[in-house]
Structure 1
Amino acid sequence: MKKHDVNFLLDHHLPVKKYVWVSDLHLDAADEYKHHDFIRQVKQEDADALLIGGDISNGVNSLVHLRHLASLMKKPIYYVLGNHDYYYGSIEETRRKAYEILEELPQLLFLTAMNPVALTEDTALLGDDGWSDAQAGDFLHSDIELNDYYFIHELKNLQPKERKQKLMELGKKSADTIYKKLLLAFESFPQAVLLIHTPPFLEACLYKGKIADKNWAPHFVCQAVGDMLLKVMKRLPEKKLLVLCGHSHNMADVTILPNLRILAGHSDIGTPTVQGIIHVS
């Protein structure tokens, strides 16, 4: 089983909390046995909370699966949504339903709708869905067409230039939102964990161990978020940021700056599993 085991600690500090990180579960593709095995894996870690990085299932089933996980886990579940979670509907409507669950079930914490939260005295957690924003690679000459462009309301029935513009808008909105949350987190904490679905850097977007090419990259990287993170972390060298992402289904561990590390999780559709164990101080 391919998973990360990471200590995100301040110098000379001991870990005080443990978090299970999962992403790209695609629970709609897993049979009952695989569901049970996944729950067993998570419970076996006896962590303080579960972090879910999106692509829980497809469309409205994602929220159904979240409720089911909450009934089994009995611990806080922090999550963001991925592109598959928006299938067969609109971004706005799906997020509205996720907001409503947050009010109904406080155990299910939709980070996209929240300000940073404290994991420990030293570490904040923030999150946003992120979006592949068509800026990495060559979108207009790419022959890749994701199901997103047929199954998500805001991306349907668009010409390539219109779709690129919409994806760039979604990426910029995500970058602007994370920027505000990150500065807020760093006002009170020396380090932070960012949970996001889409890799913010091309270097963390791999396929069979190789960085995504210009044909695939536009659909798998949120460059607007990456550009913003570079600026913030260069400006604040005394702060530390750990980014947890998915979407590409390939494991990656990339140090972009001395204070900026990106982890991407491995995923096999039909076999939901734990992507990483994160120990924080």
Structure 2
Amino acid sequence: MKRYAWCSDIHMDISWLPFLKRLYAMNLERAGADGLFLTGDVSSGPFIESDLAFIAKHFKGPVYFVLGNHDYYGRHIESVHDDVRRVCRKHSNLHWMTDQDIVSLEEDVALIGTEGWYDGRLGLPDHLRWTLDRAVVIDFFHMSSMEERIEAWRAMADRSADIIGERLERALQTHKTVYILTHFPPWGEATTASGTKQADFWLPYNTNFTLGQRIEEVMQGRKKKRCIVLAGHTHYPCRVRVSNSVECMVARAKYFGEIRPEETLVV
């Protein structure tokens, strides 16, 4: 069995003081983990390549990661992807899950993942006009209307559902348990806004509903299999049992890279 440290929303671009980044490096080393899971918002667009390189240098085990919305700030989406692919070529322990096929963590345990995006299919999508992403991600800034942006976000969510659906089907053929790394929680119940007066405002921005539906479809009838989704984005920890075979865990934000024992996974 191996131990994997799990961090999300570490926002390393905020940790601009050298000693704060060094503190994160020390936390990684002290965690004593065999591997590291990152579920997005590692940094921001201008710094994503250098911050991933920093992590790769200071954590010697494999680093499995997806990106979050903040990782695209100030950039075009594809230019960020180009930087991520370049840093992964330079550091063999970096594994961007969108480009990575099924990973066997153990003989019967697999890992898959991709970013996804919020799709505005829960709550009131009109509230998405208040999100910063529409202004600070260059691709969205240049779109002419909110309708065009929402259509683009839903297309990204649909694409993530296709990627995960296909990989999950294949992974379940040879593994009993499959972990999924993604940024946006796929179920409203996995957010603290669900069931509150704020739900209509936050759920469109906080959930990738399409991905959750696809995962449930694939897992239906597979009573002897398990799917565990690890997500971030909301900054608040949450754990929800979606069905007998599907579970979702959302990590607390970790500014300055605090590693908490409850979010170290034994696989």
TM range (shorter): over 0.9
Distance of aligned partners of 1:169 and 1:41 in 2 relative to their CA distance in 1, 3 Å threshold: same
- The match for 1:274 is 259
Residue pairs, 1:40-59, within 5 angstroms:
40-59=26-45
Specify the code of the residue in structure 2 equivalent to 1:59.
G
| CA distance in structure 2 between the aligned counterparts of 1:49 and 1:39, rounded to whole angstroms | 14
| Aligned residues: CA RMSD | 1.9
Distance of aligned partners of 1:74 and 1:209 in 2 relative to their CA distance in 1, 3 Å threshold: farther
Q: Which has the higher strand share?
A: 1
Distance of aligned partners of 1:169 and 1:58 in 2 relative to their CA distance in 1, 3 Å threshold: same
- Of 134, 149, 156, which residue of structure 1 is paired with 2:120? 134
Per the TM alignment, residue 144 of structure 1 is displaced from its structure 2 partner at its CA by 5.4
- Of 213, 237, 245, which residue of structure 1 is paired with 2:223? 237
Per the TM alignment, residue 234 of structure 1 is displaced from its structure 2 partner at its CA by 1.5
1:82 aligned to 2:68?
yes
- Secondary structure at the aligned position of 1:113 is classed as coil
Distance of aligned partners of 1:235 and 1:68 in 2 relative to their CA distance in 1, 3 Å threshold: same
Specify the code of the residue in structure 2 equivalent to 1:138.
L
What is the total number of aligned residue pairs between the two structures?
263
CA contact (8 A) 2:113 2:181 kept: yes
RCO higher in structure (CA 8 A, sep ≥6): 1
- Secondary structure at the aligned position of 2:111 is classed as strand
- Of 3, 22, 39, which residue of structure 1 is paired with 2:25? 39
- The match for 1:246 is 232
1:27 aligned to 2:18?
no
Specify the code of the residue in structure 1 equivalent to 2:211.
V
The 4+ residue runs of structure 1 with deviation greater than 6 A are none
- The match for 2:134 is 149
- 1:38-87 CA distances to partner (integer Å, 9 max, x unpaired)? 22222222111111111011103012101011111121111111111111
- 1:1-59 CA distances to partner (integer Å, 9 max, x unpaired)? xxxxxxxxxxxxxxx11100001000111244432332222222211111111101110
| CA distance in structure 2 between the aligned counterparts of 1:40 and 1:104, rounded to whole angstroms | 22
Gaps of 5+ in 1: 1-15
| CA distance in structure 2 between the aligned counterparts of 1:143 and 1:65, rounded to whole angstroms | 29
Distance of aligned partners of 1:221 and 1:143 in 2 relative to their CA distance in 1, 3 Å threshold: closer
- Secondary structure at the aligned position of 1:26 is classed as coil
Gaps of 5+ in 2: none
- Secondary structure at the aligned position of 1:41 is classed as helix
| CA distance in structure 1 between the aligned counterparts of 2:140 and 2:206, rounded to whole angstroms | 15
1:199 aligned to 2:180?
no
- The match for 1:6 is none
Residue pairs, 1:148-187, within 5 angstroms:
148-156=133-141, 157-187=143-173
| CA distance in structure 1 between the aligned counterparts of 2:195 and 2:35, rounded to whole angstroms | 30
| CA distance in structure 1 between the aligned counterparts of 2:124 and 2:225, rounded to whole angstroms | 33
Specify the code of the residue in structure 2 equivalent to 1:113.
D
Per the TM alignment, residue 211 of structure 1 is displaced from its structure 2 partner at its CA by 8.8
1:111 aligned to 2:106?
no
Q: Which has the higher helix share?
A: 2
- Secondary structure at the aligned position of 2:159 is classed as helix
- Of 212, 219, 223, which residue of structure 2 is paired with 1:226? 212
Taking only the aligned residue pairs, the percentage that are identical comes to 27
CA contact (8 A) 1:70 1:107 kept: yes
| CA distance in structure 1 between the aligned counterparts of 2:152 and 2:69, rounded to whole angstroms | 14
Specify the code of the residue in structure 2 equivalent to 1:76.
P
TM-score normalised by structure 1 residue count: 0.88
| CA distance in structure 2 between the aligned counterparts of 1:51 and 1:34, rounded to whole angstroms | 20
- 1:142-184 CA distances to partner (integer Å, 9 max, x unpaired)? 1652221111123223312211111111100010011111112
Distance of aligned partners of 1:32 and 1:102 in 2 relative to their CA distance in 1, 3 Å threshold: closer
Distance of aligned partners of 1:211 and 1:173 in 2 relative to their CA distance in 1, 3 Å threshold: farther
- Secondary structure at the aligned position of 2:242 is classed as strand
Q: 271-280 or 41-50, which moves further after superposition? A: 271-280
CA contact (8 A) 2:194 2:203 kept: no
Distance of aligned partners of 1:189 and 1:208 in 2 relative to their CA distance in 1, 3 Å threshold: closer
Per the TM alignment, residue 252 of structure 1 is displaced from its structure 2 partner at its CA by 0.2
| CA distance in structure 2 between the aligned counterparts of 1:209 and 1:273, rounded to whole angstroms | 30
TM-score normalised by structure 2 residue count: 0.92
Residue pairs, 1:205-216, within 5 angstroms:
205-206=191-192, 213-216=199-202
